[in-house]
Amino acid sequence: MESLSRSDFDLRDLKRKRMTVFVALPPSKLAAYNRFLRGVVGLSLAGVTNDTQRPEHTVAFLLDEFGQLGRMAAIEDAISLVRGYGVAFWLFVQDLSQLKGVYPKWQTFLANTAKQFFGTADLDTARYISNALGNYTATYHTTSQGVQHSNTSEHRHSKALLTPDEVMRLGSHRPIVLIGGERPYLLNRLNYLRDKVYQGLAEENPFHKNKV
């Protein structure tokens, strides 16, 4: 317990200074140290929201395996408010069913965030994406031939921009990004280990040594 008796930094400095706090655990330890992680996130969130002044740089909370933390009322309540404090969340879940299983108000997360989808393998999630992308109007022409003349008709019908099965076939390297007020994006996902711009900038992952 001595390691928890004091701290050599103030979590409020997340908003005051340029700094980064990393808390990394192997997947096998997530369940055992769930409460510790929840405490770190909760205290950090309290530290940056107690001060209403907007910082020069947005404070970003990047929470991988977000569903494994269990329900955090502090995040659920703050998701629609933190932007005004200069705070942003970047949350990662496996699929929508994981988010629904933890948060009864899961729609609130989707309504107040930009969304990225890649490697979709869950049909319900694929259906949500397909519906969110919307439809487009397809136009085609048919020609009927009479005895003395021909007649061309124009037909229009609505089609899904991407059907659920097309969404699932995109794989992990073609993310779909949905940002409020903008058209959807279909992008090419970079591999920071191989891309020339980022190659060599990342340190070796101690949990995945010698793996690329």
Q: Give the DSSP letter string of 95-163.
A: -HHHHHHH-TTHHHHHHTS-EEE-S---HHHHHHHHHHH-EEEEEEEEEEE-SS-EEEEEEEEEEESS-
Tokens of 206: 């101690």
Q: Return the CATH architecture of domain 1-113.
A: 3-Layer(aba) Sandwich (3.40)
Residue 147 banded pLDDT, cuts 50, 70, 90: low
Q: What is the pLDDT of residues 102-120, one digit of tens each?
A: 999 899 899 888 999 999 9
Q: What is the pLDDT of residues 47-88, one digit of tens each?
A: 888 888 888 888 999 998 898 888 988 888 888 888 888 888
- Mean per-residue pLDDT over the chain, rounded: 86
Tokens of 135: 């439809």
d(CA 4, CA 124): 43
**Location of structure tokens 């996902």:** 189
Residue 180 banded pLDDT, cuts 50, 70, 90: confident
Residue 209 banded pLDDT, cuts 50, 70, 90: low
When mean pLDDT is compared across 111-115, 119-123, 174-178, the lowest value belongs to: 111-115
Angle (CA) 73 77 78, round 5°: 115
Name the residue ranges covered by the structural domains of the chain. Answer: 1-113
Would strands 176-178 and 115-117 be described as parallel, antiparallel, or unpaired? antiparallel
Tokens of 91: 């949350």
